[in-house]
Amino acid sequence: MTKQLNVTIWNEHRHEHKNPKVAEIYPNGIHGAIGEGLESEFHVRYATLDMPEHGLTEEVLNATDVLLWWGHMAHNEVEETIVERVYQRVLQGMGLIVLHSGHFSKIFKKLMGTGCDLKWREANDKERLWVVSPGHPIAEGIGEYIELEQEEMYGEHFDIPEPDELVFVSWFTGGEVFRSGCCYHRGMGKVFYFRPGHETYPTYYNEQVRRVIYNAVNWAKPSTRSYPAYGNAKPLEKLN
Amino acid sequence: MTKQLNVTIWNEHRHEHKNPKVAEIYPNGIHGAIGEGLESEFHVRYATLDMPEHGLTEEVLNATDVLLWWGHMAHNEVEETIVERVYQRVLQGMGLIVLHSGHFSKIFKKLMGTGCDLKWREANDKERLWVVSPGHPIAEGIGEYIELEQEEMYGEHFDIPEPDELVFVSWFTGGEVFRSGCCYHRGMGKVFYFRPGHETYPTYYNEQVRRVIYNAVNWAKPSTRSYPAYGNAKPLEKLN
Amino acid sequence: MTKQLNVTIWNEHRHEHKNPKVAEIYPNGIHGAIGEGLESEFHVRYATLDMPEHGLTEEVLNATDVLLWWGHMAHNEVEETIVERVYQRVLQGMGLIVLHSGHFSKIFKKLMGTGCDLKWREANDKERLWVVSPGHPIAEGIGEYIELEQEEMYGEHFDIPEPDELVFVSWFTGGEVFRSGCCYHRGMGKVFYFRPGHETYPTYYNEQVRRVIYNAVNWAKPSTRSYPAYGNAKPLEKLN
Amino acid sequence: MTKQLNVTIWNEHRHEHKNPKVAEIYPNGIHGAIGEGLESEFHVRYATLDMPEHGLTEEVLNATDVLLWWGHMAHNEVEETIVERVYQRVLQGMGLIVLHSGHFSKIFKKLMGTGCDLKWREANDKERLWVVSPGHPIAEGIGEYIELEQEEMYGEHFDIPEPDELVFVSWFTGGEVFRSGCCYHRGMGKVFYFRPGHETYPTYYNEQVRRVIYNAVNWAKPSTRSYPAYGNAKPLEKLN
């Protein structure tokens, strides 16, 4: 199989420099670990916050079929012009996969139209992500649930619009649940939010997590249709 | 306030006769306990499996705005003609609230178009029903979650169509989650599935559970519009 | 019945001053005509673009249960701080009904997360708004369809997220269709978009259009639940 | 590309024998014309009402990835055991594409849980199927709309559950609209309803119609996941 999709993995890439524990788990960055799981199947490129234009130039985005987004401590440093650029590309068809703490990124909030807030706890909860849509392409190759021995807890209420398709619901030891795999359509583009991936756990080395991300890239691939024609329509026709 | 809605509570009413534990918890039947929580607000009537026509005559159903359904061990004894009668009434606008083991009733399966199967365990799990749709009228008066100290566990995958609106998601001690408050539209009618209510627990005395059922009755009340006109349409008009 | 809901009708109120035809049709403003249809049932107040803070002070919004929004030629003059204020109130539960050309307002685009563009034509198309959700409370009192002899045409593709509930679909003489009655949930709030109402037609005097807006106000009324608790959750509990 | 999907086209195949006009348009049957558009890409087999077991033996269905269904005048002659067999296969993952008058087939009504009725008129209406979900895989290769010079009219209200994804909405000359491309998930299976295809018009030779059916087959292909485990769950675990 030839590699047909161009994937860009965007990572804030700050925790890896500030927290030795994170650096130890992710010596090549969170983006590096995610990319390791995708490189055999897709053309993968990387972009980080501290690159010029955060690595998301017009050229890069125009050559991107699906963009992955991991951010946490520096959401506010992402420039509005770049957010707007990504937003327009999604409406035009680029897929977007938002990971874990990316729920609070500017781009996700802009696409959702809600606050995207939630409950959280860092206490080594066990997480089980149950498949609630068993025939969904994003659940291909996944068992009844994915179990992660230790993760940060995210709990409801998760302030998002009702997902167009809900694929996973998480259970946590401490008594919480969370809609952890959520599909949306925005313009021509597809958006998938996937919960796991706290920086202090080796989540992105987990084979099942990697499979979900791989599936999501395929699901989110752009349509080949041209962008709809908006604005002043043709004059009134006689059709009857 | 005058009582404006006519509610019929249907109960299989078999466990109460066969299991002394159930008889002790529900001396007036499961239907009696549910009705106790509704009688101050609605006109309530009762119907059970062993009544003629299961208590669901044309006359009763035509005078019913919202029907509640609890059944478990005798789903197969419900006659097809009665199932069809209830089905037609729902399509014409009668609300239907299906409780707990009613997930496997003929009427629920017929309205869903799926198998409606699930996982279960009787082991005194604790259940937390989290509100995931905080502005929904069925969640009025309910806190972040309803906690039930002991309940039967129901777990995903729950073989239902994706709910039109998902109001509650349950957490269970044993590691499972469940979509436990699910809204559907069928024809002119509204259908709400609500999970809790195993016969060996006093769930229907719980004030929060009663509040949800009360809210659901109000949500499911029939429209006053007339049934749509189907079939051969008017001749082609000149409209342009 | 006491008037229980506080409705604020926001109108840009510019066309009425610039176009004599509009002034003739709506001598009391578009907001005045809309309000005429609601005043017997609700506490109605009015706000317009040229009032201080566009008439939408904290005090006014905090006392508003449901806000109606009509704007067209001056969307860009609406200040960001007011848009943000309305947005936060919707997430906290205030209902919002967006009318006609309000599809391109800042507040609607912010809540949708899409471009909200569409096709349009000013050519006296006839419009038929067909009810596709016959049991929906917003369709109460409405026949199979609402016919408007002359309206501006709006056609697909309409760049919105898939509606949570689709109530009306419009037919136009010139060969177009449009999703013209769309329900959304955002945070604790409910949002309804309703298509008709071009400024050069007397649409807001139409009894069926007024009935839909009346129904929508009732549907969009705020929940009494308190705003969800977000952020750092309780410590890990022993629940098993 | 190797042909990877097994498609079975089921046709009632009665109109072709009874109405010379239909026989003239579809000399190889409606199924033949549909199959002509699919044979280069998929393994296609055919089944008709008058074959033993309607051509839908266990063997055939077990070897079918996606089933297409065209029926009209003889819905009642389809045996319940075959309907049940197809139903179970859909829940287990087989895709199902229901065409035109198949809206009234036993299998579609059983999967929908509604009456599936609609308005109709045979008067050579022009139909335009507008794409309302521009990034959807079923709309690949399709322009803004598909125009069919002459078709039977189907109008709202169409008595179906709200589609999980709505891809097409039809406009008809006579003033009606119709949700004409509707996606559903049932169990592990995917169901697509596609409106056009009255037996007296050459609709299934239309290249755009054929493209939609081709896309729908790809969209509806089965998951490789195993069927969910239902029933009595594992004993209560200590997870905390």
Q: Which ipTM score applies to this complex?
A: 0.96
Bridge partners, D121 (sequence order): D153
Query: How many CB pairs below 8 A link A and D?
Result: 72
Cβ contacts of B133 on chain C, cutoff 8 Å: 185
Q: Which residues, 6+ apart, have CB-to-CB distance to A45 below 8 Å?
A: A6, A7, A8, A9, A60, A64
* CA distance to partner chain A, nearest, from residue C28 (Å): 29
Residue B168 Cα distances to A5, A47, B14, B131, C32, angstroms: 38, 39, 28, 5, 41
Report d(CA C200, CA B161) in Å as an integer. 44
- Kindly report whether the global pTM for this prediction surpasses the value 0.95: yes
First-to-last C-alpha distance (Å) of chain C? 51
In a mutational test of the B interface, the residue from A132, A167, A195 whose CB has the highest number of chain B CBs within 10 Å is A132
D-chain residue closest to C170, CA distance: D177
CA–CA min distance A33, chain D (Å)? 26
- Residues A202 and C139 sit within 8 Å (Cβ to Cβ): no
Using pLDDT thresholds of 50, 70 and 90, give the confidence band for residue C239. Answer: confident
Average pLDDT over residues A30-47: 97
Of B133, B142, B223, the CB nearest to C185: B133
The answer to whether D224 contacts A126, with C-beta atoms less than 8 Å apart, is no
Question: What is the maximal distance between C-alpha atoms in chain A?
Answer: 73
Q: Of B171, B195, B236, which to mutate for an interface test with A (greatest number of A Cβ within 10 Å)? A: B171
Could you tell me what percent of chain C has a pLDDT over 70?
99
Distance from CA of C93 to the nearest CA of B (A): 7
Q: Who's near D83: CB < 8 A, 6+ residues apart?
A: D106, D107, D110
The residues that bridge with C192 in the sheet, in sequence order, are C97, C183
Token pair for residue D111? 């999967």
Burial readout B145-179 (b: 16 or more C-beta within 10 A, e: otherwise): bbbbeebbbbbbbbbbbbbbbbbbbbbbbbbbbbb
DSSP character at residue C160 = S
Rounded Cα–Cα distance for residues D28 and D41 (Å): 19
Determine the Cα–Cα distance for residues B236 and D173; give it in Å rounded to an integer.
8
Angle at C156 between CA C152 and CA C158, to 5 degrees: 95
Locate B163 and state its tokens: 């709910």
Cα separation of A109 and C139, whole Å?
32
Q: Helix, strand, or coil here: C139? A: helix
User: Strand, coil or helix: what is C142?
Assistant: coil
* Mean of pLDDT values over A6-29: 97
Q: Do B177 and A170 touch (CB under 8 A)?
A: yes
- Give the whole-number percent of chain A exceeding pLDDT 70: 99
Which residues of chain A have a CB within 8 Å of the CB of C159? 91, 187, 228, 230
The reported pLDDT for the residue numbered C2 is 63
Identify the pLDDT of residue D3: 72
pLDDT at A2: 64
pLDDT above 60 for B18: yes
The CATH code of domain B6-116+182-219 reads 3.40.50.880
- Check if the beta carbon of residue A139 is closer than 8 Å to that of residue A183: no
Rg (CA), chain D: 18
Residue C196 tokens, joined = 């008709």
Rounded (to 5) percent helix, strand, coil in chain C:
30, 30, 40
Alpha-carbon distance of A192 to A166, in angstroms, equals: 10
Across chain C, how many H-helices and E-strands are there?
A: 7, 10
* Of D83, B225, B135, nearest in space to C186 by CA: B135
Q: What are phi and psi of A24, to 5 degrees?
A: -70, -45
**Residue C37, Cα to own-chain centre: how many angstroms?**
15
pLDDT, tens digit, for every residue of C39-91? 999 999 999 999 999 999 999 999 999 999 999 999 999 999 999 999 999 99
pLDDT at C152: 98
Check if the beta carbon of residue A209 is closer than 8 Å to that of residue C140: no
Geometric angle at alpha carbon B161, from C162 and D232, rounded to 5°: 145
In Å, how far from its chain's centre is CA C85? 17
CB contact under 8 A, C225 and B141: yes
Q: What is the 3-state secondary structure (H, E, C) of C210-225?
A: HHHHHHHHHHCCCCCC
- The pLDDT of residue B2 is 64
Give mean pLDDT, residues C17-34: 97
Quickly count helices (H) and strands (E) in chain D: 7, 10
Mean model confidence pLDDT for chain C: 97
What radius of gyration do chain A's Cα atoms show? 18
pLDDT for the residue numbered A133? 98
D117 and B231: CB-CB below 8 Å? yes
The helix/strand/coil state of B61 is helix
Beta bridge partners of B6: B43
Contact residues of D toward A, CB < 8 A: 93, 126, 131, 133-137, 139-142, 144, 164-165, 173-174, 185, 187-190, 222-225, 227-229, 239-240
Domain C6-219 superfamily per CATH: Class I glutamine amidotransferase (GATase) domain (3.40.50.880)
The CATH number of A6-116+183-219 is 3.40.50.880
Q: How far is CA D12 from CA D62, D99, D107, D202, in A?
A: 20, 12, 13, 17
Q: Which of C46, C235, D47 is nearest to A153 (CA)?
A: C235
Three-state secondary-structure class, residue B45:
strand
Measured between beta carbons, which residues in chain D are less than 8 angstroms from residue B107?
A: none
CA distance D17 to A229: 44
pLDDT tens over chain D, length 240 residues: 467 899 999 999 999 999 999 999 999 999 999 999 999 999 999 999 999 999 999 999 999 999 999 999 999 999 999 999 999 999 999 999 999 999 999 999 999 999 999 999 999 999 999 999 999 999 999 999 999 999 999 999 999 999 999 999 999 999 999 999 999 999 999 999 999 999 999 999 999 999 999 999 999 999 999 999 999 999 998 887
* Closest CB to C132 among D134, D157, D165: D157
Residues of chain D neighbouring A223 (CB-CB closer than 8 A):
134-137, 139-140
Q: A with C: how many residue pairs have Cβ under 8 Å apart?
A: 118
The domain ranges of chain B are 6-116+182-219
Token representation of residue B61: 């159903």
Q: Return the closest-CA partner of residue D117 out of D154, D146, D64, D76.
A: D154
Residue-level pLDDT at D2: 64
pLDDT digits (tens, 9 = 90+) for C110-164: 999 999 999 999 999 999 999 999 999 999 999 999 999 999 999 999 999 999 9
Quote the pLDDT of residue B102. 98
**pLDDT for residue C149:** 97
Structure letter (DSSP) for residue A103: G
Q: How confident is the model at residue C240 (pLDDT cuts 50, 70, 90)?
A: confident
Closest residue, chain D, to C165 (C-alpha): D162
Angstroms from D171 CA to nearest CA on chain C: 6
Q: Which of A136, A223, A229 lies nearest to residue D140, judging by beta carbons?
A: A223
> What is the pLDDT, as a whole number, of residue D104?
98
**Tokens 């109000």 -> residue:** B218
